[in-house]
Amino acid sequence: MQQLIRGRVLDFFADPAKTQDNHRFWENGAILVENGRILAVGDHADLSRDGLEEIDHRPHLILPGFIDPHIHFPQLQVIASWGAQLLDWLNTYTFPAEAQFSDPDHAAHMAGLFLDQLTAHGTTTAVAFCSSHRTSAEALFAAAQARNMAMIAGKVMMDRNAIPAVHDTPQSSYDDSKALIDSWHGQGRQRYAITPRFAITSSPEQLEMAGTLTRENPGCHVQTHLSENRDEIDFTLSLYPQARDYLDIYDHYGLLGQRTLLGHSIHLEPREIARMAETGSRAVFCPTSNLFLGSGLFDADGLRAAGITSGIATDVGGGTSWSMLQTLNEGYKILQLRGQKLHPLAAFHWATRGNAIALGMEAEIGTLAPGSAADLVVLDARATSAMALRAERAESLAEELFVLQIMGDDRAVAQTYVAGKPQK
């Protein structure tokens, strides 16, 4: 069955940070959807016809659904845990919470709540770290599959420097990851990410296993953490004294490439930046987490100038909001401190098509191009009285987007569509 979703429609075809010709906007637009796919996008008058089911979201904005390329599924109840930097925060709050995900019933219950939070905030695809237990990834994939929701996820590989309840072993991490890849990678809209948590919690033997998985499964993503915190870097290098720098550890085990997502990537050495560019590895900016844990300030312009593609992500639960709008808000402020600018058009491109490019999935998600999945977010720039008051003075699309970026949250998400089906 076809349906027409009507509103003020915005779609990006290029990066506003690189070119002025970057988007299409229809004041009275519409998106024609069939079987979860976009058939056409354009003026409402050109797409409407008698008998066609129509959903009218005017005067709201319709964009591709938000993409979150770095988030922790088992940390949904850890968000807003007080007063620590990275390593203390992991040991005090995160690892005990993740230990509970060995229970299949708990994992399944939390998977539904996790996806509910994503879609409530307008996010239609995420790249998720599960716990070290195979059950957690099974639960998340099953829940996403039931909603026909595109998910990239992996069970964390971690065999040291954490509480025993979240330890696996090099062999069990390989076996469990391989079984999950065989069961889920490429099933419907599900994709697997090989997931060594970070070098601190993986022995050399386990990173060797992660590299083997990567070579055996070149279609899978790889996700981990890099250079988030100064103490983390020092500890990491003490564990791998032969490494030239932090990135060199992952490089040694064959974990770099265009499908590699390196969360945070703040305190990078020149050699690391050059090597990331050479291998096509992606950096992922996590602004609310970086501020909350006092980690540092991401250098978006510097990495772009070096030829590195970057994503922007919530990093719940170190991140303090599920909202990509609030993530863009804090990203704007961090870049201000860096002497850099984040124009609202560039911000919304980053959270949609830009993140899809970082994942290598721009042909499937992140735009409204015909053939793409009908994953959409409908945004209301007047969702609260304070937003409405400010929006009265907005005189351009960019100003309206900036109101959403700075003042918006889940209340500004009027509707979220996953494969053409409303979620709110």
Hey, what CATH topology would domain 66-342 get? TIM Barrel (3.20.20)
pLDDT of residue 182: 98
Q: Using 50, 70 and 90 to split pLDDT, how confident is the model at 87?
A: confident
pLDDT surpasses 80 at 83? no
Question: For the chain, what are the domain ranges?
Answer: 2-64+367-422, 66-342
Q: Tell me the pTM.
A: 0.97
- Give the tokens for residue 58: 């005017």
CA distances from 138 to 132, 135, 192, 261 (A): 12, 5, 11, 21
Question: Average of pLDDT values for 335-362?
Answer: 98
Nearest-angstrom CA–CA distance, 147 and 419 = 9
Q: What is the percent of the chain with per-residue pLDDT over 70, rounded to a whole number? A: 100
- CA dist 60 and 1 (Å) reads 24
Q: What confidence tier does 399 reach under pLDDT thresholds 50, 70, 90? A: very high
Mean pLDDT, to the nearest integer, of 252-264? 98
Per-residue pLDDT for 285 more than 80? yes
What is the pLDDT at residue 91?
87
- At residue 1, the pLDDT reads 87
Instruction: Using pLDDT thresholds of 50, 70 and 90, give the confidence band for residue 89.
Output: confident
CA 149 to chain centre: 14
The token pair that represents 424 in the structure block: 């709110």
Instruction: Give Cα 374 to chain centroid, integer Å.
Output: 18
pLDDT in tens, 361-379: 999 999 999 999 999 999 9
**Is pLDDT at 272 greater than 90 in this prediction?**
yes
Residue 88's pLDDT is: 86
Residue 108 binned pLDDT confidence (cut-offs 50, 70, 90): very high
| pLDDT tens, position by position, 311-328 | 999 999 999 999 999 999
User: How close are the terminal C-alpha atoms of the chain, in Å?
Assistant: 21
Mean pLDDT of 78-100: 88
Domain at 2-64+367-422, CATH class: mainly beta
**What is the SS3 assignment for 94-130?**
HHHHHHHHHCHHHHHHHHHHHHHHHHHCCEEEEEEEC
Rounded to the nearest 5 degrees, what angle is found at the Cα of 186, between the Cα atoms of 98 and 111? 30
Q: Does residue 86 surpass a pLDDT of 90?
A: no
